[in-house]
A and B are shown apart, each in its own frame.
Chain A
Amino acid sequence: MSEIRYENFFPIEGGTFVNAGDVSSRIKSILKNLGIGSEVVRRAAIIAYESEINIVSYALRGNIRLSVTPDAVCIEAKDEGPGIPDIELAMQEGFSTATPMVREMGFGAGMGLSNIKKFSDSLEITSEVGQGTHVKTRINMAEAG
């Protein structure tokens, strides 16, 4: 168990793009200010943003938990919403149930979850239909630079 250097929860409203991405921009600048390496900051920002857009797009409400230890940055997105009936299918590139509103904003290509996987060192998704979804990721701190 390594000590927590930073921890915070950021609430996200579902169903509207009005503030979509705001939390992820904040997470990015918090990590920058903590002096985390730019590659880790970038990966964390992308993961947070994909998670935030998914909450906005599919859930009623949710939050992102950001935690930083000396070894890792963890981003956890938890929401109340419809859940994902088939996680393996949802993980496939190109699978999407995005509505026209989501597509109009430039999303809904079915790349988000695989992008989260690509930019994280570990990914765990649990979901209960009719309840919500929990996406847990970890990025290991780069050795140097």
Chain B
Amino acid sequence: MTLAEIRDILDAEVLVGSDELGKEVKTAFSADLMSDVLAFAKPGSLLLTGLTNPQVVRTSDILDIAAIILVRGKVPPAETVRLAQELKIPILRTRYILFETSGRLHEKGIVGCIEKVGGDRVDVGNKI
């Protein structure tokens, strides 16, 4: 699924990366705790989060996250947007809550980057 389709499903606003909406993603990870993102997220996945500080972008850069989806209508501080522009990581902002955001994407075919802890999903062919 492309970021453009994800934008439409989530009725989202593109804050960073309007030129990267053709990017394909298949998997996602949802968390408000960067410690968990570091432990479990896989490269090429979407990160769904309600956290808006610049560490969200740093963490995404380290992990090759494809794009950040800010949920619950959160408005990120200017430093976060600046860092995302510099590191070329798209940020989309949706007013849906985390549960709805995850559910709507899952319904359309996006799956978790792992299914459960200790059980890796078979490779779905994410590109970094």
Binding site for B on A (CB under 8 A): 17, 20-22, 24-25, 28, 38, 42, 45-46, 49-50, 104-112, 115, 118
Q: Which chain B residues numbered 39 to 93 have a C-beta less than 8 Å away from chain A? A: 39, 43, 51, 53-56, 58-59, 61-64, 87
In the complex, besides A24-B58, A115-B35, 7 extra interface pairs with C-beta distance below 8 angstroms are: A24-B62, A45-B62, A49-B38, A106-B35, A106-B55, A107-B34, A109-B36
Contact A17 B55 (CB under 8 A): yes
Pull 15 A–B residue pairs with CB atoms less than 8 Å apart, ordered by A: A21-B59, A25-B87, A42-B63, A42-B64, A45-B62, A46-B38, A105-B55, A106-B32, A106-B34, A106-B35, A106-B51, A106-B56, A106-B59, A109-B35, A115-B39
Q: Which of B43, B55, B128 contacts A21 (CB 8 A)?
A: B55
Option from B32, B59, B87 in Cβ contact (under 8 Å) with A49: B59
Main secondary structure of the interface of B (DSSP, over half): helix
Residue of A nearest to B64 (CB): A42
Q: How many A-B contacts at CB < 8 Å in the complex?
A: 68
Report yes or no: B35 in contact with A25, Cβ–Cβ below 8 A: no
A94 to B13, CA, bound (A): 36
State how many angstroms separate the Cβ of A64 from the closest Cβ of chain B. 13
User: How far is it, in angstroms, between the C-alpha of A104 and the C-alpha of B39 when the chains are bound?
Assistant: 18
Q: Which chain B residues in 78-124 approach chain A with CB under 8 Å?
A: 87
Size class of the B contact interface (CB-based, 8 Å): 20 to 34
Q: State A109–B59 Cα separation when bound (angstroms).
A: 15
Interface residues of chain A: helix, strand, loop or mixed (majority): helix
Q: Mark B21-36, 1 if CB is under 8 A from A, else 0.
A: 0000000000011111
- Interchain CB contact under 8 A, A25 and B62: yes
Across the interface, do A50 and B55 meet the contact criterion of CB distance under 8 Å? no
Chain A residues with CB under 8 Å of B34's CB are 105-107
Q: Which of B33, B39, B43, B87 contacts A106 (CB 8 A)?
A: B33
